[in-house]
Amino acid sequence: MIDSDVSILGCGWLGRPLAQHLVAQNVSVRGSTTTPEKVDALRDDGIEPHLLALDPELDGEDPASFFESSVLVLNIPPSRTAADVTSRHCRQIDAVREAAAEGGVEWILFASSTGVYPNVERTVVEADQPPGRPDALSGARRSTGRAVLAAEGRLMDDASFATTIVRFGGLYGGDRHPGRFLAGRSNVGRPEAPVNLIHREDCVALLTTLLEQDVRGEVFNACADVHPTRRALYTRAAKGLGLEPPTFDASDATTGKRVSNEKVKAQCGYQFRHPDPLADVEA
């Protein structure tokens, strides 16, 4: 049972299905979009629409009213094209933090990413990488991973509200089919690396579980139980769509991180609805 109003900053591929699911449970939901054409669609879903942007400062129509919910789901990924990704994303997060504190938000659920972990060749758990501390687990990260890790730290260190961080794996489901991710590419590296994916239905269900259980101040990994290799998954996924499968660099023996989801299963009793991405693409 969720007895709080919820604001979802970013009602796109993930945020809108989450909002629809909460509305179906009679939760009062405010949802933001940067696209004027989507305002009516959100309203038709029973969502109170807000036209807002973070560029990187908060801008829009009456942004203060959006932050009057006691719970905020923050679903704003860093820009892949910004000149300084970390600096820009942190400015976005700081704008949200200020507005959330002024609006009386009590709890933020932050949609983070397993990209905060460097590409180490072992299983990683949440305690391996505390928010905002890249030196705790050394290794190369993408610029977006560094940006999200810094954002995690800013949110967790803010005493104005509680924060729960959900580190999602690679997202699939709906119009995002793994068969299109690498189709037609050649000489793809790390063919035996484990894949860390999560289906959109699990994203929605897991966030709903955290809301229902009121799990605050935690960090959770969120990815499927099974980690097929890149070669196995993306070859079969492409073939399943009738696309040209990728070819891989057989000489590349490096692997990569395997993200553990044991904490959220043990602490929250969550069971994944799509535990095996390979089974999904074969189906």
Give Cα 31 to chain centroid, integer Å: 17
Q: Which residues pair with 51 in a beta bridge?
A: 33
Identify the pLDDT of residue 1. 80
CA 256 – CA 30 distance, rounded (Å) = 39
Identify the pLDDT of residue 99. 97
Q: What average pLDDT does this structure show over 176-198?
A: 96
Radius of gyration of the chain (CA): 19
Q: What average pLDDT does this structure show over 180-205?
A: 97
Tens digit of each residue's pLDDT (9 = 90 or more) over 245-274: 999 999 999 999 999 999 999 999 999 999
CA 32 – CA 37 distance, rounded (Å) = 12
The torsion of the CA quartet 97, 200, 168, 205, rounded to 10 degrees, works out to 70
Label residue 43 by pLDDT band (50, 70, 90).
very high
Q: Which residues pair with 8 in a beta bridge?
A: 31, 73
Q: Where in the chain are the domains?
A: 6-172+198-223+259-274
Top CATH class of 6-172+198-223+259-274 equals alpha beta
pLDDT at 61 over 90: no
3-state helix/strand/coil string of the chain? CCCCCEEEECCCCCHHHHHHHHHHCCCCEEEEECCHHHHHHHHHCCCEEEEEEECCCEEECCHHHHCCCCEEEECCCCCCCCCCHHHHHHHHHHHHHHHHHHHCCCEEEEEEEHHHCCCCCCEECHHHCCCCCHHHCCCCCCHHHHHHHHHHHHHHCCCCCEEEEEEECEEEECCECHHHCCCCCCCECCCCCECCEEEHHHHHHHHHHHHHHCCCCCEEEECCCCCCEHHHHHHHHHHHCCCCCCCECCCCCCCCCEECCHHHHHHHCCCCCCCCHHHHHHC
Identify the pLDDT of residue 29. 98
pLDDT at 83 over 90: no
Per the CB < 8 A criterion, the answer to whether 105 and 71 are in contact is: yes
Identify the pLDDT of residue 270. 98
Label residue 3 by pLDDT band (50, 70, 90).
confident
Six-digit token pair at 239?
């073939």
Tens digit of each residue's pLDDT (9 = 90 or more) over 104-122: 999 999 999 999 999 999 9
Mean pLDDT of the chain: 96
Tens digit of each residue's pLDDT (9 = 90 or more) over 128-159: 999 999 999 999 999 999 999 999 999 999 99
pLDDT at 282 over 80: yes
